[in-house]
Amino acid sequence: MVDEAKKKEVLEKLKNAVIQYDEDACKEGATEAVELGMDANEAIFDGLVAGMEEVGRLFEAQEYFVPEILMCADALYAGLDILKPHCQQMDLGIKGSVVIGTVEGDVHDIGKNLVKMMFDVAGFNVYDLGRDVPLDKFVEEQLRTDSELVCLSAMMTTSMVGMPKVIENIKKKNPDCLIMIGGAPTSKELADRWGADGYAEDASNALKEAIKMVAFLKKLRDEKLKK
């Protein structure tokens, strides 16, 4: 039995290490969690992710800016790398795989990487195509992996306009696949007009949207199976 007080201390350490972008403290906390025999999923969600949630709040309050978030993400990954091998099959009620990338003509991938991190944390299978990805590549990769979700990112208006074509082509071949778009120039209105299922301006919203969408898809499939 893990000592509750000790457990709480380790979770707090992980959380604060993420908030204070302290990679070493995060590694330490993760190692302690493993040595104590704590549930790795719990350490990830109640430690690392709880920290990231606070980081999101600090970002909204304009106390943190992008450089701080990137450093917090480094700390989170330092802990995640240690905890991941000790994860039991995660029972989040959903499982999913996702194809993610920044569209052709755009070499910005900071937002995309933050979203990817949240999928990694949630135990998704992530197929990361990187940046400046030719539009057809998204369609091919979705077909190859049969992923439930495709995420398209763009930071510049000049590249965002490639998105509707990808959405159309994927939906034509696989109407069940859900598509999320994200990045500074995108909006709820554009997502609706282009037939995307979700939209996220930033990483924390993207994860919430993604889980909602995959859960919905699972429900649809279950209903189909019943019939």
Partner 1 sequence: MNSRERVLKLFKGEPVDRVPCFSGMGNVTEEGINKLGYRFADIHLDAKMMADTAATTYKIFGFESGVVPVDLCVEAEALGCVINVYPHAEGILYPTIKEKLIHKEDEMDIKIPTDLAARGRVPLLAEAIKLLKADIGNDVAIGSYVLGPFTLAGQIMELNDLLKLSFKKADKVAKLLDVMADAIVIVAKEYEKAGTDFITVREMGATTDVLSPRVFKSLILPPLQKIMKEIKVHSVLHICGKTNDIVTDMMDSGTKAISVEQKNDVAESRKKLGKDALIFGNYDPYNVLVSGDEELVRSTMRKCIDDGVSAVWPGCDIWPTVPPKNMLAMIDEVKKYGGKQ
* Beta carbon nearer to partner 1, 189 or 223: 189
Which three-class secondary structure state does DSSP give residue 127? strand
* Cα–Cα distance measured from residue 12 to residue 19, given in angstroms and rounded to the nearest whole number: 11
* Beta carbon nearer to partner 1, 106 or 148: 106
Is the separation of the CB atoms in 117 and 56 below 8 Å? no
* Cα–Cα distance measured from residue 79 to residue 43, given in angstroms and rounded to the nearest whole number: 9
Site for partner 1 in 150-169 (CB under 8 A): 156-162
Beta-bridge partners for 178: 149
The tokens of 199 are what? 């939209």
Ranges of beta strands (E only) in the chain are 97-102, 125-128, 149-153, 178-182, 198-200
Is the separation of the CB atoms in 209 and 217 below 8 Å? no
Residue 192 in contact with partner 1, rule: CB under 8 A = no
Residue 187 in contact with partner 1, rule: CB under 8 A = yes
Residue 216 in contact with partner 1, rule: CB under 8 A = no
Helices (H), 61-173: 66-83, 110-121, 135-145, 157-160, 163-173
* Beta carbon nearer to partner 1, 67 or 85: 67
With contacts defined by CB under 8 A, name the span among 1-9, 39-47, 109-117, 208-216 that binds partner 1: 109-117
Residue 2 in contact with partner 1, rule: CB under 8 A = no
CB of 69 to partner 1, least distance (A): 9
Out of 46, 77, 113, 183, the residue judged to bind partner 1 by CB under 8 A: 113
Which x/- pattern over 66-105 shows residues binding partner 1 (rule: CB under 8 A)?
xxx-xx--x-----------------------------xx
Out of 106, 128, 148, 197, the residue judged to bind partner 1 by CB under 8 A: 106
* Cα–Cα distance measured from residue 67 to residue 64, given in angstroms and rounded to the nearest whole number: 8
Residue 140 in contact with partner 1, rule: CB under 8 A = no
Closest among 147, 165, 169 to 213, alpha carbons compared: 147
Contact residues: partner 1, CB under 8 A: 62, 65-68, 70-71, 74, 104-110, 113, 132, 156-162, 184-185, 187, 189-190, 193
